[in-house]
Every structure is written in structure tokens, then in C-alpha cells.
Structure 1
Amino acid sequence: MHHSKSMRWHRPAALLLVSLLVAAAAVVLLNREALHVATGSVSRSLCAAAFVSRVDPERIYVEEQRPLMSSIGWAVRHTVDRPRREVRSSVLGLFPARAVYRPGLGCLVMHGDGPVPQAAGLAEDTGPDGFGKQVVAPADPALRHALDLAFAEPDPAHPRLTKAVVVLHDGRLIAERYAPGYGPETPIWAHSVTKSVTQALIGILVRQGRLRLGQPAPIAAWQGPGDRRRAITLDQLLRMDSGLPFDETAGPVNPATHMWFREPDTAAYAASMPLQYAPGTAWGYSNLGYALLSKVVGDATGGTAVGAERFAHEELFAPLGMHHTTIETDAAGTLLGSGFIYASARDLARFGQLFLDDGVAGGRRILPAGWADYSRSRTLDTGYGAGFWTNLRNQGSVPVWDAPWGMPQLPKDMFYARGAFGQYVIIVPSERLVVVRLGLSVQGGGTGTGDAAAAVIAALHDQSSR
């Protein structure tokens, strides 16, 4: 009697266990891509935190990566190996990913345990910051209030986690503030602000006469007879009206995350993507397009990671005094020009200043004359320009994301570089103003950056009327 009773107890338990295992296997199979993306993202992000930004990787995990993973965060494991300068992560030992630090090139997501493509002796740029070592805290209470707005945390459910704010007026550093653990020389992941930097690298090649905006993009995979993509111009790739699909959609799985975390050759993947629209007829946010522009830059500068990085440093970063900036590359040696720049807030302010000064820095022309006006000229009926967002459309919202196009509280001539989780380089020509805000606003709810920039403008007007 006792025996049969225990059998009756055991059978449902065994059935439950089997059904749980089957369910778990189904979840894993259905979400293989999401789990691979998660471990790739964790490995790369923590590698960059430890070895590029030199901030606490565990804090970055808690503030940036764990909120992105929601339901699977409990199962993700990671180890930071400082002697080897690499980070490994997995989901309960499965879906492993490894990111390796290479001096001067940042971190690389490795696919498998093969040898790491070497950095070929590229040295890190560690020049002193031209604004000096001291943090410039403003004496003006109105400017201090603007910084308070930028660092405020009005909603505990949606932490803003502002890390750095820098304000330039007439090219002078007039205000800055940093979160604990960050400073004037901390390179911070600026996400899609990278696209605006890639746009500038294309601009330099245009100035040098090596590219023309109206030319068909020199992508080998598109040159077959009858391939409609042959007609796509560099201008259309910069403007995101090339006809390639809107590729950064909600959730962890989309063409952009697949490209960044699963493909060793990002440009080859981007070049394989079919057109969704006829070129020049529709706008769609395009990481794929900027992966292809990165390949164009690489091909023009020797076709290697070191060649492209050296070009970026010698032609753009060094002339501007951007000594704490790195763009990462993929395993094929192509710059990850769609989203993987690490730069100090001061360096990004210098970059913004270049566009305020129509492409001239230190008396030297870096970008073609008129390039800044080109950058903020409107694409179709959108609030996007060419590699920058504009303030020319304040109604409606960005398709797919349902986010506002511009910042109605700021002047109409404002244009800006923008990256995920609240990265901004705001350029206001009419006010001779650059405002940079970097942070980890991963959980939505806005950053208050537009209001903070408006408060800066109000403070400057108040000063000049005194």
C-alpha cells in the first residue's frame, strides 16, 4: 500500500520534471539568437568597461546589462580575466561568448577560441587633455542649476544614470560634471553617436577627393548585373534612405544586434541584406548602412583595422585633440562605425565644435566647406539629416520606435548626434553652443537632456543681459 502511494506521488513529479525540461529546451531553442546576443553583449560591454573606460565592470553589469536581460539575467554568468584582458560570459555554461581587449582598438567579440587578430603594434593615444586636468565647475548658479537638471533622478523606476555632461560656449569649456568613478578623461560608450563620427570620416575622404557623395556606393557584393542596390549612393547611406530595412527594432533580436554580436564580418552581412524600398524613397534607421560606410572608409585606408583606426586618429581625432577616443572593429578589421565608439565627453564636445566651426579645427580644414550645413539638411519628410538628427520636425514620431524627432524646447537650427540609452552631442549654431550628455538611461523614461540644454541657453542669455 505504502509503495503504490509513493509511486502515485513520484509519477506526477517525474512528469512535471520532464515537462519542465521540455519547456526549458523549447525556450532555449526558440531563443538561441537572443541568448547568443545576450552573452556577446555582456562580454563586449564588460571588456570595454574594464579595459577601455577603466570603470568598474560589475557596476556596468548591474546598471547597463542586467536591465537589458530581464527574464534571463539570473542565468547569465561572466568572468573578467584581467591578466588576459578578456571577458567571458555564458548562460548556465551554454552560448559562450568571449571579448578580448586590443590596445588602440578596444574590445573584439571573438567567435570561438581561435587566435585573436593582432593590433599590429597600434599604440593607445594618451595625450594630455587640452582643457587641463581640473573639472570646470561653473560659478554661475544658473549654469549649476542646468547641470543639476541633467543629473536629477526624478523617477526611481526609470533611473537616468547620467555619467558626464560637458558644455562648450564659443569653443570655451564653461561647465562640466561627472558621476563618481568618471572624469574628464574617461572614454564612455557613445553608441550611435559613432554614426556621426563615421559621417565625418566619409567627409574627410570627400574633402581629399577620394569619394563623391553622389557616387554609387563602392560595395563589391552589389555590382552584379540587375542588382538594384548598385544605384545606392553614399549620400543615401548617410541619410538612411537607401532602401535598406529599418534594422534596430524592439527586443534583443534584430538585424543590428545579429550583425554586432554574431557576425565576424559585419559589412559582408550588411551587404547581403535585400532592399525593402527603392533607393531614395523611404527612410529607415540603418545600422546596416553605416556598417557599409565603415567598409568604404576601411577600403580607402588600406583595408585593415589598424589602417582605418590610424586614419581616424591622424585625420580627425588628433587634429581636434580627441586623445581619449577609440572606435572598435569587427574580426574582419572593419570599423564598427554604426555604434561602437568610446570617447570622453570632452572629446565628443570637441567633435561637436568641429561642426559648429564648419569643419575647421585649429586653423586646419578637416571637413569640406559647407559639410555642417549638409549634415543638418533634411532627409525626405523626416527629422533626420545626413548622419545627424535635426530639429526641423517637431510633430509625429520616429517610425517603429515611437520616439520624438527633435527637441521643441531648443532652437530650430539645433542638430545633434544621438546614441542609445541617452548619448547626445547637441550643436546649436545660433547660440555657439555644444552640450554633451552621456549616461546609462537603459530603462526608458527620458533623460531630461533637452530641458538641461534649454536651461544652459537661458543661463547664457541671462548672463549677457546683465
Structure 2
Amino acid sequence: MKKLLISLALFSGLLIAVPPYFLGFSLFNLGHAVQVATSLSAKLACSARFISGLDDQQIVSDLSSYSPVTELVNLKYSDTPSQVSADLFGLAPTVATYRQGLGCTIEFDGDDTLYQMASQPLPEPDHAPWPKGNRVGTVNPNIQGVLESILAEDNRNGLDSRAMVVVQDGQIIAEAYGNGFNQTTPLLGWSMGKSITAMMLGRLEALGKVSKNDTALFDQWTDTRAELSLEQLLQMSSGLAFDETYAPGSDATHMLFTAPSASDVAMISPLDHEPGRHFSYSSGTTNLLSRYIHQTLGSDPAQTMDFVQTELFVPAGIATATFEADASGVLVGSSYLYASGRDWARFGLIMANNGEINGQKLLPDDWVSAAKTPNTSDNEKSYGYQFWLNQGDEQLRWPSLPVDAYAMLGNRKQSVMIIPSTNTVLVRLGWTSGDYPMEDNYKVLLDAILKAST
């Protein structure tokens, strides 16, 4: 009945008669909603198919968790070229194209930046011990049993956990995967990409190319925004206005699904608060950081991709990661990084090791320290350089976890938890649309680790 009502409404123009909850979006933004539905479907289906290797049924199920209207989107897959096209009863046709090593990007008329780039070769797997390579011989049977029980319980409860990894003292001691997923499956981290964007800036700082104190960040900012510092953007305390609501008509959905340049959306944001005084979570701010990285590296998408590989992925032993750019060639740092559970664990290990991995120092000690230090805003201090912190406010964010815990977090309850005091990294990747007992599950794992070590 729901699909029938929507179909009739769309074709007859009687949208005012359809309750908004049937559609999953406000009728006042119908035009943008239809475009978002097809663009979101084409983009996510393309990446799921050509990066993660998911089948059509899984893709449709994943999309439907965002809005019932996506169930009505017509998806067509092509292998030559590697594309996914989407439309809603013929409306808002959208195409997303996959390029090896570059991922999937929505196509926009007249924007051929990525067409000028060659596909990037994927690294060959390394058979050295993890984290340099993919050979894991350090599994603790007791912790493995606990982790498998957690993942099985998650999935009995419909929480759709897909990959979980436990790293202790620099070694993988347990890992578990849902049906259809394994240790090499690249999975979307959503907002965990924000933390990796920050780490790219940390690497640039180590190379002397940027400083957290940089101001006059963009030529487009000729007003008081020129006084904003890179650190204020990293801490999301810039004071820039940005609508993070994920609904048709918002800045966030326009940025991710209907704008050729994600960073352009936030570039025009005015100041809404005094810089440094107000924390406001903003994916737009992260994409400004991506834009700053892009211009620092010569405004050349090929140079940015090369930097990511040679200065971060390759030294860390990361071989499954794809960091996607928008149609303008700028990385969508807020949202579009795919990597396996083991590779997300490597990102966490870099931070747990104070910027070092595989004998290479990638991030300065003082940068890592600043990244996990509370910001100085008046309203929410428990956020560092694109990392969520346990401490900083009157109450701990995760009371049952160690005070010094901090994390990368992403939509659908993705997480990489870093706990310096126990030398632990915990990873969970999945597709949960509601609540997820992250803190409880991680507490169980930490207790098991402590018990195993005594």
C-alpha cells in the first residue's frame, strides 16, 4: 500500500495527500528529495558494488535503511564502463562511475576532472606479519571466542555487524566477520573519514607544509573568516554556520549528493558564532579541510591521491583503502573512505603508537597529543582534531571505558576506539540504523583482555 500511494502521488501530482512519513522526507523539499534519493542510491550502490563487492540484494537492503523511497529507485548496473544509474519513475536520472583506485563519483554535466585521471593501481597484498602485511598469527583463543560471541549476538539482534577487530600491544588478537564479509572486504567508514582527513593534515605538518596555526586559509574568504585558524576547523569550533541535518534541502545532503564540489557548500557558510567559542559538528568543515589539503598539494587531484598513498597508506601497510573524491577532484573527507577492518585497525594503531607504524614516524608527537586534547569551546569540549574524546566535559562520554579513550565514529555505528592506557584498538564496522551497544561491547572485550593478561 505504501508503494502504491507513493507511485500514485508522484504520477498524479497529489503529493499533498501522502503522509510525509510514507516518503521519509518533507514534501516542501520534494524536488531535492527525489534527486537525493537517486543520487544517494547511485553513489552508494556504485561503491558497494565495485569497491565492497556486495550483491544486488544486499545493496538494496542497505539503501532502504535510509529511506523507504529508495526501494522505489530503479538501479541499473554496468560493468563496461563500471557505472550505476538510478532514477525514480524516470525522474532525476543519476549516474555514478567507478574508477579503480579512485572509487565512485556522481557524474555532473561539464565536469570532467576525474576523466583526466588514470585509474590507480591497487597495492599488491603483503604476506609479512600484520601490521606491515596481512599474516596474522597472534590470535588469542579466549578473546577470539568473546569477540565471536559479541558479533553473533549483534546479528541475532539484527544489528548487522560486519567486521570486528581487536588489537592489543600492536597485534591483532581477535577478529570476526559477518556472513559475506572477510578480512579483505573494504567497508564504508562514513564519518570515520574525518579522522583520517585530520591525520593527512598531521602528516603535512610533519613535512613542514602546513601548521595548525595557519590562517587566511582560502582566497574566497576576504572577510573575518580569513582569521579562522586550521586548528579551529580541526576542532569544529570555527563558528561557521552549516546545516548538518540529513534531510532533503539541507547543506549536508546537498554537499554529499547534489553538489559537484562538496567543499563549495561550506565555503560560502557565514560565521554564526565567535570562532573558538562554540563547537558545532559539521561535515562541511571537514570538507573544507580536504579542500585545504588539495590546494596545499597544488590543487591537483593526482598529487592528492599520490600523497595519500605514499605518505599514509603504503607506510602503514594499508592495501584495501579507497578514499573517494567528488566530481571536482577534492577528497570527500567527511564521508567516503572505504577500508577493511584490518586497515581501519591500522589507522587506529598509528594513533595508539603516537604516530608511528611499521618503524616509520608519520605524525609528530605533539600533533597526536593535540589531536586527543579537548577543545576550548564553551559548549562541548570532548572533541579533538576530528576525533571524539571520552574526557573534556563534566561527564565522560563513555563512563565504563578508560578516561583516555578516544574514537573515530561514523554513521551506521562504525567505530575505531583507541585506548592509550591499555594499548588497545577496537574496531567495529556494520550497518546499524538504530542504537548499538558499542560501549557495552567494548567494555566486555577490555575486561576479557585484562583477564587474559593476569
Confirm or deny a common fold (TM above 0.5).
yes
Q: 2:90 aligns with which of 77, 90, 93?
A: 93
- Picking from 349, 367, 385, the partner of 1:371 is 367
- Displacement of 1:337 in angstroms is 0.7
- The answer on whether the counterparts of 1:122 and 1:306 sit within 8 Å (CA) in structure 2 is no
Check whether the contact 2:155–2:161 (CA below 8 A) recurs between aligned residues.
no
Q: 2:316 aligns with which of 315, 320, 329?
A: 320
- Counterpart Cα distance in 1 of 2:348 and 2:80: 37
Which one of the candidate residues 423, 428, 436 is aligned to 2:419?
Answer: 428
Partner of 1:175, secondary structure, is: strand
| 8 Å contact from structure 1 (residues 245, 285) kept in 2 | no
Structure number with larger C-alpha Rg: 1
Q: What is the aligned partner in structure 1 of residue 438 from structure 2?
A: 449
Greater shift after overlay, 23-32 or 118-127? 23-32
Of 401, 412, 422, which aligns to 2:403?
412
Secondary structure in structure 1 of the residue aligned to 2:14:
helix
Identity %: 31
Deviation readout 1:23-44 (Å, 9 max, x if unpaired)? 2389877411122111111111
Matched residue, 1:145: 146
Q: Which residue of the partner structure matches residue 13 of structure 1? A: none
Q: Say which of 59, 62, 65 aligns to 2:63.
A: 65
Q: 1:24 to 1:183 in 2, by over 3 A?
A: same
SS in 2 for 1:316: helix
Q: CA deviation at 1:369?
A: 2.0
Is 1:233 aligned with 2:232?
Answer: no
2:243 counterpart residue number: 247
Q: Deviations over 1:210-265 (max 9, x none)?
A: 1110121521110x2xx121111100000000011353225344211111111112
Listed as ranges, the matches of 1:255-270 within 5 Å are: 255-270=251-266
SS in 1 for 2:427: strand
Are residues 220 and 18 of structure 1, via their aligned partners in 2, closer, same or farther at CA, if it must alter by over 3 Å?
Answer: closer
User: 1:148: how far off?
Assistant: 1.8
**Partner residue in 1 for 2:354:** 358
Cα offset for 1:21? Answer: 2.4
Cα RMSD (Å) of the superposition? 2.4
Separation in 2, partners of 1:20, 1:321:
52
Deviations 1:162-214 (A, max 9, x none): 11011111111110011122111111110011000000111111111111101
Hey, what does 1:439 align to over in structure 2?
430
Q: Is the 8 A contact 2:405 2:418 kept in 1?
A: yes
**What's the offset of the Cα at 1:115?**
5.2
Aligned to 1:298: 294
Q: 1:155 to 1:113 in 2, by over 3 A?
A: farther
The corresponding residue for 1:3 is none
C-alpha offsets along residues 84-124 of structure 1, whole Å, 9 cap, x if unaligned? 21001111110111100011110001124875732632423
Residues 259-281 of structure 1: CA deviation (Å, up to 9, x unaligned): 11111122222211112112111
Q: Are 2:42 and 1:46 aligned?
A: no
Q: Distance in 1 between matches of 2:184 and 2:169?
A: 22
With 341-350 and 21-30 compared, the bigger mean Cα shift is at: 21-30
Q: Deviations over 1:125-153 (max 9, x none)?
A: 23215536677795533542234224423
Q: 1:184 to 1:29 in 2, by over 3 A?
A: same
Question: Aligned equivalents of 2:112 and 2:214: distance in 1?
Answer: 38
Whether 1:183 aligns to 2:182 is yes
Is residue 102–residue 118 contact of structure 1 (8 Å, CA) maintained in 2?
no
Distance 1:319 1:26, change over 3 A: farther
2:205 alignment counterpart? 206
Of the three residues 124, 133, 144, the one matched with 1:127 is 124
Change (3 A) 1:290 1:115: closer
Change (3 A) 1:278 1:57: farther
3-state secondary structure, aligned to 1:118: helix
Instruction: Provide the residue aligned with 1:348 in structure 2.
Output: 344
- CA distance 1:20–1:218, change in 2 (3 Å): closer
* 8 Å Cα contact 2:60-2:71 kept in structure 1: no
Equivalent residues of 2:232, 2:276 under 8 A apart: yes
Q: Which amino acid is the alignment partner of residue 432 of structure 1?
A: N
CA distance in 2, matches of 1:123, 1:213: 31
CA distance in 2, matches of 1:201, 1:138: 31
Give the aligned residue type for 1:460. Answer: I
The amino acid of 1:149's aligned partner reads I
- C-alpha change, 1:74 and 1:182, in structure 2 (3 Å) is closer
Does the 8 A contact of 2:112 with 2:327 survive in 1?
no
Task: Rate the CA distance shift 1:137–1:440 in 2: closer, same or farther, 3 A.
Answer: farther
